[in-house]
Amino acid sequence: MATVQPWRLREELWKLVRISEDADGNVWQVDFTSCNVIEHSSVLCAGVCGSARIPNAMCETPGSSIPDIGFVRKAACMWQLRLLIFVSALLNARCGMAEEQSVQFTNVGVIDHPEINESSGLAASHENPGCLWIHNDSGDRPRLFLVNANGAIRGLVTIDDADAHDWEDMCSFRLGGVSWLLIGDIGDNNKKRRRKSTPCCLYLVREPRVPRANGLPVIHCNSAAAIQFDYEDGPWNCEGLAVDTESRQILLLTKSLPQKCGLYVLPLDVKTTLQQMTAKRVASPTIPFATAMDVSPDGRTLVVATMLNGLAIRRQKDQPWAAAFLQPGTPFNLPPRQQGETICFAQDGQHLFLNSELTNQPLWSMPLPQFPSPWGVPAWGKSWVSDFINCGRWLLISCHCRILHGLQFTYVGE
């Protein structure tokens, strides 16, 4: 691939941008309608050859054309995003595209229950073989839906002593011969939740066994533990939750701009009913906009779903996840979803399940990626410059087969 002159590329990229008001008046739409310089090279990172939704406070006058340099005023996150586009484009032009593995997606069914309308958490059941647990996003009651592998509903479980402020993810695991569900009320779009006011909370529930019946079984239960927590470095919006039974730790992955992403841990205590803790940051993996996370049944592989693609991280026995995130990861494509915020391992540990928000959405199955990335993700934390370039490389690998000329991509802020 021919090298592109940096100033020429920058000039053309900025010419692609136009601003218009969104229908609800709360956001602006930034449209990238063409990409002449790198035509036929699927690019780049968030935004190019697609669209970006950004808060209206970051934008200039609606309907106006954007100057060659700087379409956003007083918004550090957006100029960093523009610079990331530029860095990624240079890497693309100089290094060419990495070969991304081909993954077979299988539509195993449709989740058609009308009350499953904003699926935000997904977990494989241990007590109900061949079934999955699902919960809705914010606005629903504290309840779980059990569906079979074809998407048909099998049962409904209400957790009577739980609140549902903003449920974002869940996971299942076995410990000490007991099957557990962990549900994360961890969404915080405005980054205002504190333990003294509206705390982030994890609900630990013994997984119920739902009997087969002609009608829809409805079960009521209480949580075994409520874990209220703060982050050691301030409030964060989080949508990734998993459990590492080997180290007895709860893992939390924040949803943010890549340079702010953090992996946090809490100790796993299944005996204390009310817990108050502080989540410790153990890694800054620079993963953009993570929306879900899970750990394989054998504890060796961690998968992350993002607004762009997926990432698989593998570790050795007794290796902490903080160290595993410093090693090369494997980016992989995800099946087409309107607004996907879920991912979980099947019980065999070799397949993944995913679905989407909104009603009548497909339930997808796909094999776990089995070979390493051709580039991998280099180690982070050496310097802010290397981290920034590494972030661009990660986005290049994860997007290059996904964001083609004219394909839309949506960025919804932090």
**Mind listing the pLDDT tens digit for each residue in 94-117?**
333 334 455 789 999 999 999 999
**For range 354-376, the mean pLDDT:** 82
Q: Is residue 226 part of a domain?
A: yes
Tens digits of residue pLDDT in 160-174? 999 999 999 999 999
Dump pLDDT digits (tens) for 1-10: 333 333 333 3
Same domain, 143 and 271: yes
Model pLDDT, residue 211: 93
Judged against a pLDDT cut of 70, whether residue 236 lies above it is answered with: yes
95 and 226 assigned to the same domain: no
> What is the chain's mean pLDDT, rounded?
75
H or E stretch covering 85: helix 76-95
Residue with tokens 């301030």: 234
Counting Cα atoms < 13 Å in the Cβ hemisphere of 184 gives 30
Give the per-residue pLDDT at 102: 56
Share of the chain above pLDDT 70, in %: 65
Q: Which domain holds residue 251?
A: 106-373
- Residue 91 confidence (pLDDT) above 80: no
Pairwise pLDDT comparison (10 vs 325), residue with the higher score: 325
Within this chain, do residues 188 and 213 fall inside the same structural domain, yes or no?
A: yes
**Span of 90-99, 114-123, 311-320 with lowest mean pLDDT:** 90-99
Tell me the C-alpha distance between 299 and 301, whole Å. Answer: 6
pLDDT for res 395: 56
pLDDT at 314 over 50: yes
CA–CA separation, 307 and 239 (whole Å): 11
Specify whether the backbone of 50 is left (phi greater than 0), alpha (psi in -120 to 50) or beta.
beta
Please tell me the predicted confidence (pLDDT) of residue 173: 98
Residue 59 has pLDDT above 50, yes or no: no
Q: Where is pLDDT greater, at 16 or 218?
A: 218
Distance CA 1, CA 383 (A): 29
Specify whether 79 is located in the same domain as 124: no
Within this chain, do residues 241 and 338 fall inside the same structural domain, yes or no? yes
Q: What is the pLDDT of residue 324?
A: 93
- On whether both 390 and 366 belong to a single domain, the answer is no
The whole-model pTM stands at: 0.71
Position 409 in a domain: no
Tell whether 202 and 339 lie within a shared domain: yes
Report the pLDDT value the prediction gives residue 209, as an integer from 0 to 100.
97
Domain count, the chain: 2
**Which pLDDT belongs to residue 37?**
26
Mean pLDDT confidence for 303-312: 91
pLDDT at 259: 84
The pLDDT of 32-40, averaged and rounded, is 28
Please tell me whether residues 391 and 367 are part of one structural domain.
Answer: no
Is residue 216 pLDDT above 50, yes or no? yes
